[in-house]
Amino acid sequence: MKIKRDIVEKLKQWKDMVGRKPILLKGARQIGKTWAMEAFGRECFDYCVKFDFDKQPELKSVFQTTKDPERLLKELALYCEQPIVAGRTLIIFDEIQECEEAFNSLKYFQEDAPQYHVVAAGSLLGVAVKKRRMTVPVGKVKILNMYPLTFREFLQASDVQTFDYIESLGEIRHLPEIIFNKLRTEYRRYQVSGGMPEAVVALLENKGVSEVESVLQDILDLYELDFAKYAEPREIPRIHALWHSLPAQLSKENRKFIYKVIKSGARSKDYEDALMWLEDAGMVHRIFSISKPGMPLSAYAETDAFKVYACDCGLLRRLAHLPASIVSDPIANYTEFKGAMAENAVLQSLLPLLDDQKTYYWTSAGTAEVEFVLQWREHVVPVEVKSEDNISGSSLSVYTKKYLPPKRIRFSMQNLQYNGGLLSSPSPLSGWLDKLLSLTEHDLTT
């Protein structure tokens, strides 16, 4: 099954940029980085050559003898069947963390051979760079973050008719019941598989829930092996304990990360490195609290108060041993964790839209909390997330009364509408946030 990834469109934009730099593609394991690079090569170039430094360790010797890109490419041409022609060939360096010299060569491709299109990626790139003390060629590469599939990408593969309808929206109004029902059904399926491509394919090709569970468990097992392979020995049990504490952390009513949930008596200084390791691996996202919603939001971050979400809602579900049948049932009552799953899935759709800006959350002395706060154009926008269609609660009202935001959002399982600055949207449409907010600029209402 062919799944269209939005990252390919970003790579297409990069292809024709003036002053183009080599791409360094970052993201968690098993999200499809290699597939995306190869798909981009097939679609946009006459030729595509891939050099995998894990499968072809002999390639390392090529980069140990010279730093000159032209000499490098002459030797690399001996390892591939397709020609390397400037402007017509995409050059892929995969698992680049296995060769520090190749990593450093990106600088020289930018300085001395910008006519070539070079894209590099690697497993646990952030972790490997730190562990091996590799120097990132700052200013010489374009770092592009990649994430698991969003629901928007999932829907395009699972129900193209519904996807096309949402894409064609020209105003904020109630969705037809048939579209709304399809959205809710597909969204629950998405929360079962999550955004890991292999799990999505297993679901969409009707291989059965047991196959989806097996794929997700294999990825979790692979992550566990990565702890042992890439982490310092003394950090391995801490990383393991922190990772497995995520369901318990997110099951708390306020979701704030508490080290004592990991282990009685645990302190931040003991687990901060483990948390940073998981962040560098792309396995978790840390969302900091803000003291007030001012611009820029980063100026008001409170680094001692944060929430931690998993990179993928499907992996989170499997990590928590939550049966797929529970997630698929709209009336199933799994209370706090249902809210956590809803927030994790929405965050998964928001992150690729933010152009690497961070998102935050707001709380008021423990009496009110808005799940996410983000910057959109010149606005600071509060985002409330509800797991189903029950929108009771006063947190967004408390925020609104205190700060008078011109825009605010509530994601739930209620239909689409806009009224008095409040965009009420079905959670499945979180991947269309920019489009929806743009439509509200014209004061379109139901």
State the amino acid at position 144 in one-letter form.
Answer: L
CB 389 within 8 A of CB 412: yes
pLDDT category, 136, cuts 50, 70, 90? confident
Residues near 58 by beta carbon (within 8 Å), at least 6 away in sequence? none
| Contact residues for 26 (Cβ-Cβ < 8 A; gap 6+) | 121, 125, 126, 143, 144, 145, 146, 282
Tell me which of 380 and 333 has the higher pLDDT. Answer: 380
State the Cα–Cα distance between residues 198 and 201, nearest whole angstrom: 5
Report whether pLDDT(313) > 50.
yes
Residue 442: what pLDDT?
61
- Written in H, E and C, the secondary structure of 277-312 is HHHHCCCEEEEEEECCCCCCHHHHEEEEEEEEEECC
What is the CB neighbour count within 10 angstroms for residue 254?
11
Determine the angle formed by the axes of helices 335-350 and 151-158, rounding to 10 degrees.
Answer: 90
User: Residue 209: exposed, middle, or buried by beta-carbon count in 10 A (0-12, 13-18, 19+)?
Assistant: middle
Nearest-angstrom CA–CA distance, 110 and 143: 13
How far, in Å, CA of 283 to CA of 279, rounded?
6
Structure confidence by residue, pLDDT tens digits, 82-112? 999 999 999 999 999 999 999 999 999 999 9
| Sign of the CA dihedral running 80, 82, 84, 88 | negative
Distance CA 357, CA 298 (A): 9
pLDDT in tens, 318-351: 999 999 999 988 777 777 789 999 999 999 999 9
> Averaged over 128-136, what is the pLDDT?
76
Please state the rounded mean pLDDT for residues 409-431: 95
* Minimum mean pLDDT range among 214-223, 236-245, 375-384: 375-384
Q: Which domains does the chain have, with CATH numbers?
A: 6-145 (3.40.50.300), 151-440 (no CATH)
What is the overall mean pLDDT for the chain?
Answer: 93
What was the pLDDT predicted at 170?
93
Q: Report the C-alpha gap between 273 and 250 in whole angstroms.
A: 20
Cα-flanking dihedrals φ and ψ of residue 321, to 5°?
60, 40
Please tell me the distance from the alpha carbon of residue 32 to that of residue 339, in angstroms, as a whole number: 28
C-alpha radius of gyration, the chain, whole number: 23
What pTM value is reported for the model?
A: 0.93
User: Would you say 172 and 444 are in contact if contact means Cβ atoms under 8 Å apart?
Assistant: yes
Two tokens, residue 291: 């003291």
The whole-number average pLDDT for the span 310-319 is 97
Phi, psi of 32 (to 5 degrees): 100, 30
Q: Which residues contact 367 (CB under 8 A, 6 or more apart)?
A: 398
